[in-house]
Structure 1
């Protein structure tokens, strides 16, 4: 049976931050501070930095690189986009899909995100699928309905073999960049709900093997308690991942 340690992932989403030179310094700083992480550490970096950060992490055990988005088509007249094949050829390990900022600013829905997930899996890239509810949904206690629908629409059409490779990141929209954080109990409840949904469709073995990450104002001060919850396998970290010491402290939380 897969252990919680086996499922552990701490991923940093740099978003549209850091120049290439700054990003190299940041990534190297984290590696220098945590030479042997428990589980996996992922740098989710701007497209212009993917190849450089991949080269930098190649000799660093436990470190991986994620793109922040990709196009669902294999090729074509899609100016400014990247395909899964391009990422695979650059040996990029992961891709973040369905982030709330992509949903909000680019109008992405779970039908489109499902197509991206399938394209990533077909190319051998592991998708980190983001889901989560807005504040009004949480306040009306409808978070399970909304997140359940997101999980169903984006993931239910996958085969068990495909689903076993997916990473899920629960990111309550109301906690992203706001300084608000879901309580450890709230995070656990949602993570358990997501794992149960996956178990109901794909079986307990696959559900127990999947990493479910929490994202939303994760900091060194709250990471240990969050990561200590039974179904919280790590974090997808935003702002705190831009500081080498802060991110290193999060990586080491609860180890």
Structure 2
């Protein structure tokens, strides 16, 4: 059986076009990082655009690719939980299928865990970060992360960048306390990890906004509500 050090996860929902670029680019980059010792898990979450069939073809042609399909829509957080629980590597990571974060940073992400950190995360909000996105998204992101730092006591700058790696055993011991099942998963994992003394490395990245991404009013309301719910669980329920 092939030894796996690094398990990389691509969360996917109706992302056929992006997959056609992300899978070959991922295999090339991961082979340079952990030659012959990695797997690429596509956590495909109830897609209806042919993503499942495309990944299945890739899997049949390359043993380094694994399809993890769900008939029902799980949401980002639940899909990641399932993928990490089933991963084989001692280091697990994930990144957005549109490759919004430049893949040149993937070696640094993995190396941060090899160096003894429990979690590594890319940041779009450090002074050295280079980002391209609309003014509305920029304002919403900075406002959200300011609230997380102020209300939840985080010391990190960017909680929602879809570019993270973990020491798998440490992540799995943390996940039972994480209740978020969709986009807030990233923030809750980082906040709870800090409260549990995890060693976290945040580093600047080059990042560009994907096509068709917008911030709606209801998204802003849900962001604030999710922060307050987690504060309640941490300080009132003592979970």
* Shorter-chain TM-score above 0.5: no
Structure with the largest fraction of strand: 2
TM-score, length-normalised on structure 1? 0.29
